[in-house]
Amino acid sequence: MESIGEEVTIVKPIAAVKKKKPRIPMAIRFIRWIFPKLESIAPGYAHSLFIKMFFAPPRYPIPAAEKEILQRAETFLLDVDTHTIQVYTWGRGPAIVLVHGWAGRASQFKSIIEGFSNNGYQVIAFDAPAHGRSSGKKTNIFEFRNTILALERKVGNVHAILAHSIGGTATMFALTEGLQTTMVVTIATPSIGDEIIHEFAARLNGSRQAEQKLKAFIQQSFKRSFDELTAAHFAQQLKTTIDWLIVHDEHDKEASLKNAWMLQQAYPKATLKVTSGLGHVRILRDQEVVQACLDFIRSKSLT
């Protein structure tokens, strides 16, 4: 498939790194085992649980290397809606805001934090509602959006936003509702509604019926279909021009490369860079990806 944007670049990983299997919380393992059984004998209860878990991100242990980067940060708290948000800052210079994805945390950006703060930027990251060290047990894309908007009001001018996975969706949502930043990098951001829900269902061994119940709940609760809450949809609603770099790995098992093509089709002026062998999360630690993000923001700052 040919690119319709500025360029397609294959960014090779610096070295082959043996991929570690993510640690799956015991509670999730148990639910994967019991959910099909529960759905067969008590479908109503099972579907309510399915919906509840969709909005309740698991919190994973913070690795030692990530704890070290957090210890070097200056911190402050931000009240957003009913949540208290933990915010971290590193370095001095034009502000770069980082937005993590679902079940993620600010410290996942360790390599990006170091790359930008060591090159003349102030890096600002936060744990989203119900994530990391922020308060809450459940959240949604609206609260992610509200946190981005509240943080921009707090810190003033934001030079650029760099977002991972669903954080990219929240960033595009915020751009349609007053976010002033016009330079954006999204990494591994999903945008195919059915794929997002099906991937979640696969994690719990949920059925297609459970997926349909979730879609109906979203429509009823938010007065929008799930497809109207995707990054591609928000990109099509933009009223201002942005400089946008889309980074996606061709081996991403959580969000296929089709998602990146959909984003670029929604906003043809975007630049697409495709990596190989980095997956959905390790892409954040790759030094060539960090350099590509730096180069993009520097180049657009000069135009």
Residue 211 lies in a domain: no
Q: Which residue has the tokens 């751009």?
A: 175
Residue 37 lies in a domain: no
Average pLDDT over residues 82-91: 97
Structural domain count of the chain: 1
Looking at the chain, the whole-number percentage of residues with pLDDT higher than 90 is: 83
pLDDT band at 252; cut points 50, 70, 90: very high
CATH number of 134's domain? 3.40.50.1820
Residue 2 lies in a domain: no
Residue 62 lies in a domain: no
Computed over every residue of the chain, the mean pLDDT equals 91
Strands 83-90 vs 74-80: parallel, antiparallel or unpaired: antiparallel
Residue 246 lies in a domain: yes
What Å distances lie between residue 115 and 181, 281, 286, CA to CA?
21, 17, 11
pLDDT tens column, 171-222 = 999 999 999 999 999 999 999 999 999 999 998 999 999 999 999 999 999 9
pLDDT tens column, 113-159 = 999 999 999 999 999 999 999 999 999 999 999 999 999 999 999 99
Average pLDDT over residues 265-277: 96
Residue 86 lies in a domain: yes
The predicted structure's pLDDT at residue 15: 40
pLDDT band at 17; cut points 50, 70, 90: very low
Residue 94 lies in a domain: yes
Average pLDDT over residues 79-95: 97
Q: Which of 208, 209, 232, 228 is nearest to 218 (CA)?
A: 228
Residue 120 lies in a domain: yes
Strands 243-249 vs 183-187: parallel, antiparallel or unpaired: parallel
The predicted structure's pLDDT at residue 171: 98
Which residue range(s) make up the domain with 291?
A: 8-22+73-191+230-301
